[in-house]
Structure 1
Amino acid sequence: MLSTLFSTQKARPIHDRIEDDVNTKLRLKYDPFYHTVDAVEGLHLQVEGKKMLMMSSNEYLGLSQHPKVVAASQEAAATWGTSSCGSRLANGSRGYHRELEEEMAAFLGTEACHVIVAGYLACQGSLAALARRGDALIVDKSIHSSLWDGAQLSGADIERFTHGDMASLRTLLESLSPTQPKLIAVDGVYSMEGHLAPVPELVELSQKHGAFLLVDDAHGFGVFGKQGRGVCDHFGANGKIDLIVGSFSKSLASTGGFMAGSKATIDYLRTSCRQIIFSAALTPPAAASSLAALRVMQAEPQHQERLLANSSYYRQLLDEAGIDYWESPTPAVPIVIGNKEKCYLVWKALWDAGFFTVMSIAPGVPAGKDLIRTAVSALHQKEELERFVETLKAACKKAGVSLKK
């Protein structure tokens, strides 16, 4: 009877996969992620009863609690409510969408812009809609996962070139048929490595081979270029990028994403991009806070100036301490440990000392590049950066991490 019962039970492979997942078990055992922040004042957090300093936030300009940004969000909710409760195709655009899009397009020097509920969807949706079966979708191996998802959804032939290596890209382009439609997708700033895309060379190669060029500037917008216009402006490539996509959740201290390019490109995306068509629209508070932060960014240059000064000082401290930061020239600064176990030990020592960071290990990063991801903000004080680097250096030594001489 019992043998009959057990033999007739159906296999549950998905359930078993979930319950036996090694990565989930390791995450729950070592508990490095998903901690609850109970209160926040600038970069100072209260985390499960513990006072901590945020050292890994993407709030580059420190505007999430700026009075003008907070007031704009509150006023928008009072005027428009909390949501339009549907997609713009189904429920119509709102005035706050158009206002934000017009100011974003003017700021970036593009003909048009579309704003969407998440930066991830801006990246994913644009690639999924622009590339199609039979096209060559050419990507840097280190692009953000949102671009990878969009590339896979497109059905195009995905071709990879070595990270940041324009000789590798050139060879790849020359190997493809001249008649095959081509789209090149890169990050403006690679958030894990902190590297800048070589935009001038990308423009040259894309024009030479008739390729559409897309740049995800989520981590460059607000940081580089005149008044924070981003990596493309930083390299003088205004008007030479076919589509710039990005996020409002970094420098603009809100949520949402954008796609900025020619009017024809934006109209095409509004027709063809499923992430636009079927996603609920950007909420009134998110749109209003993004627009307010965009205006603050232009009116108060001291935030960008302080961010760049802090980034430079932080790199100087890391150089003096002999710590490997992958030569990042940006506020996104990886602390390369190079070993999973040592990476955890360093992260845990920083946590215990009151510093909130995040670790990333292989396969999330290349083998031998296991790292602690840190990010600098305009809100950081010099003494806070000094204290962090001192603690980091001691933690690296204790964990057996080799330091540069």
Structure 2
Amino acid sequence: MADTTAKTTYSKVFQKAYDFTKADEIKEMGLYPYFKPLQATDGTIVKIEGRDVIMAGSNNYLGLTNDPRTIKAAQDVIKFYGTGCTGSRYLNGTLDLHLELEEKLAVFMNKEACVLFSTGYQTNEGSIQTIADRNDIIFSDKDNHACIVVGTQVSNAKTVRYRHNDMDHLRNLLAKADPDAGKIIVSDGVFSMSGTLAKIPEMVQIKNEFGAGLYLDDAHAVGVIGEGGRGSASVFGLMDDVDLISGTFSKSFASLGGFLVGDRTVIEYIRHKSPAHIFSASMPPANVATVLKSLEILQEEPWRLQRLEEISTYMRTNLKELGFNVWSSQTPIIPVVIGEMMKCFQFWKDLFEEGVYVNAVVPPAVPRGQALVRTSYMATHTDEHLDRILDAFRTVGIKHGIIDKNGKSLIDVE
């Protein structure tokens, strides 16, 4: 048998991989916060490294991933459809369940039509590159999610990035653009790191002023905020003014996949032209059934949205009172700014030791010097969970000189 450990030569194309040592260095320090395997979970409590910890870093906003009803829905359809579709929606991979979900989501979102994708990432990548071509210009917020960025990169359209949530900059860029080009503004509805809302009323005004389209990625908004959980535009009563709204099933809908809603003509064009839709295997039946049941529960149990809002307000208020910088969060996503990267990793580790799991976010995902731990909350968190999380943050924050005992911030971060 060949000794692969003794390999000393390799193609130059792999040099970057051999030069990448940062992850190994952080692992050796015992501070590596990524790819932690969950050994068991009931949603709010997870087992990691043999310990039970409170999950304060999940996107399971409605707490439905372990709901007996969603589990049963997934189990039941496997008996009739099997475990997968083994083909794309375009050819042999369309089930009546897919059509049912598309119809129900279109009605729920007050749009004419809906198309499903196999992941939320593919939804944005595949839709943006399809709807914008070489005769068009995409205006994209600089803080947009990576799947939007990739969608603009693979599109033949020209892409112009405007400063985050800076509507004056967006208007100036549109004013300077070719008046004959097709134009579309693309933005997260809720920004996944800061938990802030896009300035949708201003966007609608600008898009009408310049005859542009408006596309919102509501991955962290549908099933989370707005009227009945309909997302960011519904917060402002502007659902009819947004041309395309995308969402994902990997968060509030306890599954995997994504969707896009809009006018029927536009959705049918994307359905027939998007490579990400045509050339990807379709959502497995168990995933579709889970989403259908989650959508039903969302509409039948409005207390989940109410509870989620109460929790978000409680945690945001109390973290601020402890002295933490939570930026301008408006949703269940609440960042806590730590500062330097290594201090962030140490902070994450000590929180874990205190029994709380969060997400460490470091540059380039955030600006240099503004590394943070991203917290996010579920409707199923109890008051006891929340207070234990706050106690852990207070203990670790004081230990690392982020806050003092009097609720004052000790770091100079915008």
TM range (shorter): over 0.9
2:212 is matched with which residue? 211
Distance (whole Å) between structure 1 residues aligned to residue 78 and residue 239 of structure 2 = 35
* 3-state SS in 2 of match to 1:91: coil
CA contact (8 A) 1:59 1:377 kept: yes
Distance (whole Å) between structure 2 residues aligned to residue 177 and residue 200 of structure 1 = 24
Distance (whole Å) between structure 2 residues aligned to residue 41 and residue 93 of structure 1 = 32
2:409 is matched with which residue? 404
Distance (whole Å) between structure 1 residues aligned to residue 164 and residue 144 of structure 2 = 9
Aligned positions of 1:231-380 closer than 5 A: 231-380=232-381
* 3-state SS in 1 of match to 2:175: helix
Aligned positions of 1:88-99 closer than 5 A: 88-99=89-100
Which 10-residue stretch deviates more, 318-327 or 140-149? 318-327
2:222 is matched with which residue? 221
| CA deviation map 1:225-281 (0-9, x unaligned) | 121111111111122111101101111111110010110111110121000000000
Distance (whole Å) between structure 2 residues aligned to residue 352 and residue 230 of structure 1 = 35
Distance (whole Å) between structure 2 residues aligned to residue 205 and residue 250 of structure 1 = 30
Distance (whole Å) between structure 1 residues aligned to residue 316 and residue 9 of structure 2 = 57
1:5 is matched with which residue? none
Q: 1:40 to 1:92 in 2, by over 3 A?
A: closer
CA contact (8 A) 1:323 1:393 kept: no
| CA deviation map 1:15-65 (0-9, x unaligned) | 322122134334543321111111111311111211111000000010112
- Measured after TM superposition, the shift of residue 74 of structure 1 is 0.8
Distance (whole Å) between structure 1 residues aligned to residue 61 and residue 84 of structure 2 = 27
* 3-state SS in 2 of match to 1:260: strand
Which 10-residue stretch deviates more, 98-107 or 78-87? 78-87
Distance (whole Å) between structure 1 residues aligned to residue 15 and residue 251 of structure 2 = 38
Is residue 2:14 matched to residue 1:15?
Answer: yes
Distance (whole Å) between structure 2 residues aligned to residue 99 and residue 188 of structure 1 = 26
Q: Which amino acid aligns with 2:280?
A: S
Unaligned ranges ≥5, structure 2: 1-7
Q: Which amino acid aligns with 2:262?
A: G
2:149 is matched with which residue? 148
Distance (whole Å) between structure 2 residues aligned to residue 92 and residue 256 of structure 1 = 14
Distance (whole Å) between structure 2 residues aligned to residue 92 and residue 187 of structure 1 = 30
Q: Structure 1 runs of 4+ off > 4 angstroms?
A: none
* 3-state SS in 1 of match to 2:41: strand
CA contact (8 A) 1:342 1:401 kept: no
* 3-state SS in 1 of match to 2:334: strand
2:3 is matched with which residue? none
* 3-state SS in 2 of match to 1:138: strand
2:163 is matched with which residue? 162
Distance (whole Å) between structure 2 residues aligned to residue 199 and residue 126 of structure 1 = 20
| CA deviation map 1:280-324 (0-9, x unaligned) | 001100001001000100001111111111111111211210111
Distance (whole Å) between structure 1 residues aligned to residue 189 and residue 14 of structure 2 = 39
TM-score, length-scaled by structure 1: 0.95
CA contact (8 A) 2:245 2:261 kept: yes
Is residue 2:106 matched to residue 1:101?
Answer: no
- Measured after TM superposition, the shift of residue 96 of structure 1 is 0.1
| CA deviation map 1:65-94 (0-9, x unaligned) | 222211111111111111110101121521
Count of residue pairs brought into register by the alignment:
397
2:388 is matched with which residue? 387
- Measured after TM superposition, the shift of residue 181 of structure 1 is 1.4
Q: Calculate the aligned-residue CA RMSD, in Å.
A: 1.5
Distance (whole Å) between structure 1 residues aligned to residue 228 and residue 72 of structure 2 = 22
Is residue 2:116 matched to residue 1:111?
Answer: no
Which 10-residue stretch deviates more, 125-134 or 371-380? 125-134
Q: Which amino acid aligns with 1:17?
A: K
* 3-state SS in 2 of match to 1:190: coil
* 3-state SS in 1 of match to 2:124: helix
Q: Which amino acid aligns with 2:168?
A: A
Q: Which amino acid aligns with 2:348?
A: W
* 3-state SS in 1 of match to 2:268: helix
* 3-state SS in 2 of match to 1:90: coil
Distance (whole Å) between structure 1 residues aligned to residue 23 and residue 128 of structure 2 = 30
Which 10-residue stretch deviates more, 360-369 or 56-65? 360-369
2:177 is matched with which residue? 176
CA contact (8 A) 2:39 2:48 kept: yes
Q: Which amino acid aligns with 2:12?
A: P
- Measured after TM superposition, the shift of residue 158 of structure 1 is 1.4
Distance (whole Å) between structure 2 residues aligned to residue 39 and residue 384 of structure 1 = 18
- Measured after TM superposition, the shift of residue 10 of structure 1 is 7.2
- Measured after TM superposition, the shift of residue 11 of structure 1 is 5.8
Q: Which amino acid aligns with 1:404?
A: S
Unaligned ranges ≥5, structure 1: 1-8
Q: 1:23 to 1:212 in 2, by over 3 A?
A: farther
TM-score, length-scaled by structure 2: 0.93
- Measured after TM superposition, the shift of residue 389 of structure 1 is 1.6
Distance (whole Å) between structure 2 residues aligned to residue 93 and residue 63 of structure 1 = 25
- Measured after TM superposition, the shift of residue 347 of structure 1 is 0.6
2:5 is matched with which residue? none
Distance (whole Å) between structure 1 residues aligned to residue 383 and residue 190 of structure 2 = 24
CA contact (8 A) 2:122 2:276 kept: yes
